[in-house]
A and B are shown apart, each in its own frame.
Chain A
Amino acid sequence: MRSRKTRRGMAVAAALVSAGLVLAGCGGSDDGGSGEASGKSPGEGKAECEQLTQFGDLTGKDVTVYTSIVAPEDKPHIDSWKVFEDCTGADVKYEGSKEFETQLQVRVQSGNPPDIAYVPQPGLLQTLVGTGKVVEAPDTVSANVDKWFGEDWRSYGSVDGKLYAAPLGANVKSFVWYSPKMFSENGWEIPTTWDDMLALSDTIAATGIKPWCAGIESGEATGWPATDWLEDVLLRSVGPDVYDQWVAHEIPFNDPAVVESLDNVGAILKNDKYVNGGIGDVSSIATTAFQDGGLPILDGKCALHRQASFYAANWPEGTDVSENGDVFAFYLPAMGDEFGNPVLGGGEFVAAFSDAIEVQAFQTYLSSDQWANEKAKATPNGGWVSANKGLDIANLASPVDKLSGEILQDPDAVFRFDGSDMMPGEVGAGSFWKEMTNWITGESTQDALDKIESSWP
């Protein structure tokens, strides 16, 4: 009798504990909805806090940020929020992931979105807005975007005319990295036309080095650097208007002009004489991490590497990135005079999944000229620019960033946003990447483009 009682007691206790755990698991956190500013801002009276005092005291409030930016590039971001944290008392929690593009959708669909996400693709932003979970940008952010950004940048962050996400950083992709020292030792000149560039490649190839190096491996995003290649060449050969039509799918993805452009890319990237300097043959491009793609330049085993301005962060510490240093970048030449100097670029946008006051305050801060300058100062090694017109070019650290900043703020530059980032996620972050990878490892140009076309939703 006694033993039965004890056993029953044990069973009850076990049931209690396990059920308690289940219930505790169910009790999720819910953030307070939109709030009114209340309390006296900790930054009251300080000059640098002028734009932030309107949000009141946010002490003890958390803002979670989810991005695709991982170490070491995340530190400047975290540093640039110090003013915000000091002025409002709120705490910003950072999380970066290389699998951001898919993981963000997983989190949104499972009801666990971050407060803020840095979305690097307008196409992904559209998908996210389609889920109904993205909160429209508050008026303070909208006003900042009108004041500090051009009309085109506002449109990249808008869906159906409504602004959802303010632009954050930007980058210029039409760059070719090279070694100024290596060039001057060999008497090579920086090419100013596409044909000059091919002639230079032949000259370099004749010396026994493979002139170009590349890497497109990037986890689940493997293939994206090759999509930039195609976009850059397409923009140069058919001009910005046809490029826009292609991005919007008004002409088919496998249009003859696109086939020709990809063949032009192939003349470099799939040319065994040209690639893959310091690494291997053509197919080794597919398995080389994009971060490592340009590094053979430092060993003198490769001369040219087409990659965006942000590649500056991947050179090892101590590398002199300047006009006469170890490495620098030149503008990927145009293919003719017809379309001026087209520039391909990208950027991130700040999407919010919460309308809490601290989140709005943070969005406002990020869209301000103040943040842009803080970020520039917090990035002593360079590798970051913004299209924010309030950004003082003098605050940018590296010569490459200054060059990029000037291009971005130049009202006459023919700037176009990275096309794959504006296409629907199924293509821009799916089949386009995958088929470009297959194209590198042997698939024909026509087959690759046909497959992408057929995957367009």
Chain B
Amino acid sequence: MSTGEKFIQMVIAIAVFFAVVAVILLLTQRLRSRRGELVQSAAFVLPALALIGVGLLYPAVTTIYQSFLDRSGDAAVGFDNYKTIFTDSDQLIVLRNTAAWVILVPILSTVIGLVYAVLVDRSRFEKVAKALIFLPMAISLVGASIIWRFVYDYHDKSQTQIGIANAVIKGLGFDTYKFILNDPWNTIFLIIVMIWVQAGFAMVILSASIKAIPDDIVEAARLDGVGGFRMFRYITVPSIRPSLIVVLTTISITTLKAFDIVRTMTGGNFDTSVLAYQFYREYFVSANQGLATAIATLIFVLVMPIVIYNVRQMRKLEAR
């Protein structure tokens, strides 16, 4: 099908939809009563609900169902797949790594973003400084991973170094280090990539909300003799608390879904795999449907409370 045909098809589809909506409008506009309004809203909400059902609920329910079946989805195995996740030594390392990611990335990104935002606030070179730390956000995670793989490149001390990290280490006279290989620290070096990308996001959001702190509060505090660190601790942080939580939770969710970095930098080797990548590998490489869907369900269960909390916080923020 050529591009032209696709466009014609799209126009036809839109026209058909226009017609359907017009019919719904015509049919329901005469209903003026209370029930009429109900019918009217139902006519508009139902299609959306149907799409959510097909695109979201159905796959979610199927996934959860499959997680209780064996590797090919033929026989029920109860909670065996979940047992594997929490007992198998390889899977335990995956859980350990995921925990490290979820704890370190949100906290460090937010702290770095916050400190940076406070430091450059109203300074002369604020715009340049912000742009610098925000730039990594514009790079895809795969691109960032490739960049960092070069940074971490390892050659023996006697050889020419390609990676800047080892070039510096060698320049200082130490033995070069296998960043990608040495478990468990390699997970930390992968986490640094994520922080490098996410700190910019945290900084932008937090900087905006720091600027939104009313001047009278700041001035009142100054008159009371508050300055420096105490200003940060007692005025700035409490004032931007809702934004801080939104940033923390958003980065947590992103981190739970971390996949690209692990896949690009190590392919899950050298004990660096995380849940999201393990799910993909079990499903598409090991063809172990049961275990894969169990991992997917686990991610779902872990993300759920954060999402709910996040939505509530955002509502609070909007209500202000």
Q: Which residues of A contact B (CB under 8 A)?
A: 12, 15-16, 19-20, 22-24, 27, 29-30, 102, 105-106, 127, 219-223, 278-281, 283-284, 286-287, 301, 425-426, 429-431, 434, 437-438, 441, 455, 457
A178 to B281, CA, bound (A): 36
Contact A12 B181 (CB under 8 A): no
A220 to B264, CA, bound (A): 8
User: Nearest-CB distance from A85 to chain B (Å)?
Assistant: 17
For B175-198 the 0/1 string (1 means CB < 8 A from A) is 010101100000000000000000
Give every chain A residue within 8 A of B140 (Cβ-Cβ): none
Secondary structure of the A contact surface, majority rule: helix
Could you tell me if B18 and A220 are in contact, using CB atoms closer than 8 angstroms? Answer: no
Q: Beyond A219-B263, A219-B267, A280-B178: 10 further Cβ-contacts under 8 Å?
A: A19-B47, A24-B10, A220-B263, A222-B267, A283-B181, A284-B154, A286-B269, A429-B285, A434-B269, A455-B286
A434 vs B176: C-alpha distance in the bound complex, in angstroms? 25
Q: Assess whether B267 is in contact with A16, with CB atoms less than 8 Å apart.
A: no
**In the complex, B220 has a CB within 8 A of chain A:** no
Contact call B21/A12, Cβ cutoff below 8 A: yes
Q: How many contacts A-B (CB < 8 Å)? A: 95
Do residues A279 and B159 form an inter-chain contact, with CB atoms below 8 A? Answer: yes
**Min CB gap A283→B, angstroms:** 6
Other-chain residue from A30, A279, A429, A455 in contact with B156 (beta carbon distance below 8 A): A279
Give 29 CB contacts A-B under 8 Å: A12-B25, A15-B44, A16-B14, A19-B21, A19-B47, A20-B13, A20-B17, A20-B18, A23-B10, A24-B10, A27-B9, A27-B13, A29-B6, A102-B285, A219-B264, A220-B267, A223-B269, A280-B155, A280-B156, A281-B156, A283-B178, A284-B155, A287-B154, A425-B287, A426-B285, A426-B287, A430-B286, A437-B269, A438-B269
B178, B264, B269, B286: the one within 8 Å of A426 (CB): B286
B270 at the interface (CB under 8 A from A): yes
CB distance from B195 to the nearest CB of A (A): 22
Residues of A within 8 A of B287 (CB): 127, 425-426, 457
Residues of A within 8 A of B154 (CB): 280, 284, 287
Q: Given the complex of chains A and B, what is the CA–CA distance between A81 and B10 in angstroms?
A: 33
Q: How far is the CA of A347 from the CA of B176 in the complex (A)?
A: 39
Set A20, A278, A281, A286: member contacting B14, Cβ < 8 A: A20
Say how far A443's CB is from chain B's closest CB, in angstroms.
11
Q: How far is the CA of A105 from the CA of B269 in the complex (A)?
A: 21
Instruction: Give the number of residues in B that approach A within 8 Å (Cβ atoms).
Output: 36
Bound-state CA distance A431–B263 (Å) is 16
Binding site for A on B (CB under 8 A): 1, 6, 9-10, 13-14, 16-18, 21, 25, 44, 47, 51, 71, 154-156, 159, 176, 178, 180-181, 263-264, 267-270, 280-281, 284-288
Residue among A280, A286, A429 with the most chain B CB within 10 A? A280
Distance between Cα atoms of A438 and B13 in the complex (Å)? 53
In contact, A27 and B159 (Cβ under 8 angstroms): no
Report chain B residues within 8 Å CB of A441: 181, 270
Contact among B14, B71, B285 for A425, CB-based, below 8 A: B285
Q: How far is the CA of A127 from the CA of B47 in the complex (A)?
A: 38
- B44's closest neighbor in chain A, by CB? A15
A430 contacts across to B, CB distance below 8 A: 281, 285-286
CB <8 Å contact, B1 and A284:
no
B264 to chain A: which residues have CB within 8 Å? 219
Residues of A within 8 A of B181 (CB): 283-284, 286-287, 441
Specify which chain A residues have a CB less than 8 angstroms from the CB of B268 in the assembled complex.
434
Q: Of all chain B residues, which has the CB nearest A223?
A: B269
Give the shortest distance, in Å, between B266 (CB) and chain A (any CB): 8
Distance in Å: Cβ of A91 to nearest Cβ of chain B: 11
Question: Are B17 and A19 in touch, CB under 8 angstroms?
Answer: yes
Q: How far is the CA of A431 from the CA of B1 in the complex (A)?
A: 41
Contacts of B286 in A (CB 8 A): 426, 430-431, 455
Chain B residues, Cβ within 8 Å of A219: 263-264, 267
Least CB separation from B183: chain A residue: A441
